[in-house]
Structure 1
């Protein structure tokens, strides 16, 4: 740097990264670090100050989110221009990740800390030295059953539930339980959550795609695939389709359920993303002999616990329990006790409500900026589906957004290899960043949509 500024971290009494952030912030305010001044690389400044690179990186990250600093990929970190420090549209982090939904922290972290302390004080030594058992996690299954009391899943008890390490693990375990033969086949929608395909690959299963219309998966196409390819399991998300936000109508669900009952087709219903009131019954309710309900705490409370669960058909619970035991013996007692203490906290309902309200606000903010385009959304779903306007191709738009430091998922990540890929992107809500930073990223996406590059216009 071409200045005489040198940070002093010795006598502040704060964490070193906070002290460094304060030093830089004050130096900018006093003019010692003028607009456009390039700061030293992370490792260089860390060496000068005898701190870890992580300390410097964390301070830079805080100030970038505040808009005090700006960072460009491959260019370094600079003091932001005065306008950028006062205009929220420019106050955004180095890279805004909108690939996967990120929940805002509205109190969950404090609940988890309190639950950790309670768990440490209450778990007995005997349980810390024992293999897990299904009896050990029964209290947590009962707590989750109460949490699910208002969901239209049909009749079930905690005994019909099996705990898993997240919903993705649940999907794999259901496939391992259901699929049979040398060449098992799984059906998914042509545009759907890629985790279904990945789980099928782990099970050495073929995947076939199902066409959809305005009401959901086409029942005639699904039945044809069952008859022609011997499909044993259909994986879907009837309440919130990922990535399109579409839901399957009640009439279509009943048609698929009737066909599944007639042909003996198992249906896995992944219900991770719905934050609000459900609009129709799950397949576990409509076809209880073949309906598997899968969900988790990851998209509503926290992904850190990795708590997923399956509500299985009653006569297949033992089969799923056996699959789980063969896979990993079950959930560890400290983990289930931690989750139980977390779920039993009387503050949990208000925390969940605040989280939902924050997601609602961010979704509405996104629609306010992008509503002139073909965007599908629901305020209770933490992502939006954007059909790109004429002149933009999906992969090119994703690359252009990344050049603006906004990371998205293109439609090709959700499409089967032999299916037609629409020119569209999924925009996931990120509640972990400052709302001004999030809005700045959405504004940059809007500017891209408003101004397609000449070389890609048609």
Structure 2
């Protein structure tokens, strides 16, 4: 093959949009895809192509580098740059993985406060995507973000969530937030009204609901629940007593117990909510596996606001969440986000778009889930003789303490043994009663061996309660 610019390809790229290096890259990419440039074709040297296109050598070099990083071109020292062979299968090691990032500085200390994900390659994936972001249009690093600028990411989110039972979803329904907690707060800001509105939550619930409500000066009232979630009769009574117009709930993975609300109970809850025109904020951030029932958004698209993120499936470091509005309410939610924080950082938006659009990312998420499930099995094998609530693909366990222990005393004793866990008190309302239980989160930053050692320390404490019950 020669090294001249093929006659079929343009030498004047001025009519194309975007940075010059991107125009060159797109022209080459299209030529490879339509067969104008075949596998093994040697491209012109940088300076020669720059002369033909009347642009700088640096611009051509940047286009070649971009395409080489994407695997479309292959550079060989002393020989030149060629169209690379297409890979029909992504190698298993295309993204390096480091399953357990590092052991803690204190080898006897393991934090099980909050879930920490195993690295199965997402660190390398983020680094790879960051390189691509750094080569983006310079205006992306200089301009304020706009609604149109976020559209590619919103479309990627719609595609990413397409496998979940959410009902019809359009990119105009999606608002990007700084993680799930910010998503809950943004929804509350958009829908709560009056001088002191009331938000209903499960008696035992994610503390983030309460904190978000406090920020918007709302009162929080608990609703009784059982092993299937909120009790419809208690919900009816709470609505009548408080006049609340919002319910916050996590039907797929209840935090902190890990319990699940089956479809029949969800439908009973919806009957109550519809009678009183109460809206739902559904927090779906802790679900790592497939949904077991249709979401409230699918069951009641006119009432449900859905919040999720990539924090428990891919990485919490980016602080990217998704708030989904009911049909027709997207502008209300978007307006509140723009008034509150204007939007997430545009480079972070582009980074997230690249990750969600990459077909390899779904395998990463599946690998994360599989590795986290292994930790759950270790915990169940060690503590299974006690009253333990757990599920696969839920990154924490709920342990009801045996006679002789109180939650506060047990958490202090565990910390003295180098294991940090959360007491049920942290999930109860201020005027509510907490059960005698603790939440144990999975820490994928330590090895399975270290994690098992932590579980054995907890089991030793459970087997040997103090002679006197302390509080």
In the superposition, the TM-score normalised over structure 1's length comes to: 0.79
Alignment gaps of 5+ in structure 2: 1-100
Q: Determine if the alignment matches structure 1 residue 114 to structure 2 residue 111.
A: no
Deviation at 1:204, TM superposition (A): 0.2
Within 5 Å, give how 1:105-144 maps onto structure 2.
Answer: 105-122=119-136, 124-144=137-157
Within 5 Å, give how 1:35-434 maps onto structure 2.
Answer: 93-122=107-136, 124-434=137-447
Deviation at 1:250, TM superposition (A): 0.5
Deviation at 1:187, TM superposition (A): 0.3
Change (3 A) 1:451 1:351: same
Deviation at 1:332, TM superposition (A): 2.1
SS in 2 for 1:456: coil
Deviation at 1:347, TM superposition (A): 2.0
SS in 1 for 2:292: coil
Q: Tell me, yes or no, if the aligned pair for 2:262 and 2:293 is still in contact at 8 Å.
A: yes
SS in 2 for 1:390: coil
Q: Deviations over 1:301-359 (max 9, x none)?
A: 00011110111111211111110010011122111011111222232122111111001
Q: Tell me, yes or no, if the aligned pair for 2:228 and 2:261 is still in contact at 8 Å.
A: yes
Q: Tell me, yes or no, if the aligned pair for 1:101 and 1:382 is still in contact at 8 Å.
A: yes
SS in 2 for 1:234: strand
Q: Deviations over 1:164-203 (max 9, x none)?
A: 0000000000000010001200000010100000000000
SS in 2 for 1:314: coil
Report which stretch shifted further, 239-248 or 273-282. 273-282
Within 5 Å, give how 1:7-46 maps onto structure 2.
Answer: none
Q: Tell me, yes or no, if the aligned pair for 1:239 and 1:248 is still in contact at 8 Å.
A: yes
Distance in 2, matches of 1:245 and 1:354, equals 21
Q: Tell me, yes or no, if the aligned pair for 2:102 and 2:446 is still in contact at 8 Å.
A: no
Deviation at 1:258, TM superposition (A): 2.2
Runs ≥4 in structure 1, deviation > 3 angstroms? 61-65
Change (3 A) 1:64 1:151: closer
Change (3 A) 1:62 1:170: closer
Deviation at 1:63, TM superposition (A): 7.9
Deviation at 1:146, TM superposition (A): 1.3
SS in 2 for 1:183: coil
Alignment gaps of 5+ in structure 1: 1-60, 66-70, 72-92
Distance in 1, matches of 2:311 and 2:209, equals 17
Q: Tell me, yes or no, if the aligned pair for 1:360 and 1:379 is still in contact at 8 Å.
A: yes
Deviation at 1:62, TM superposition (A): 6.5
Distance in 2, matches of 1:225 and 1:174, equals 21
Q: Tell me, yes or no, if the aligned pair for 1:99 and 1:409 is still in contact at 8 Å.
A: yes
SS in 2 for 1:136: helix
- Give the root-mean-square deviation of aligned CA atoms: 1.6
Q: Deviations over 1:196-232 (max 9, x none)?
A: 0000000000000000023210111112211211112
Change (3 A) 1:64 1:273: closer
Distance in 2, matches of 1:253 and 1:365, equals 32
Q: Deviations over 1:27-77 (max 9, x none)?
A: xxxxxxxxxxxxxxxxxxxxxxxxxxxxxxxxxx97877xxxxx5xxxxxx
Deviation at 1:457, TM superposition (A): 8.7
SS in 2 for 1:425: strand
Alignment length, in residue pairs? 371
Q: Deviations over 1:260-285 (max 9, x none)?
A: 22211010110011111211111111
Deviation at 1:455, TM superposition (A): 2.6
Q: Tell me, yes or no, if the aligned pair for 2:158 and 2:170 is still in contact at 8 Å.
A: yes
Partner of 2:36: none
Q: Tell me, yes or no, if the aligned pair for 2:235 and 2:272 is still in contact at 8 Å.
A: no
Deviation at 1:370, TM superposition (A): 0.3
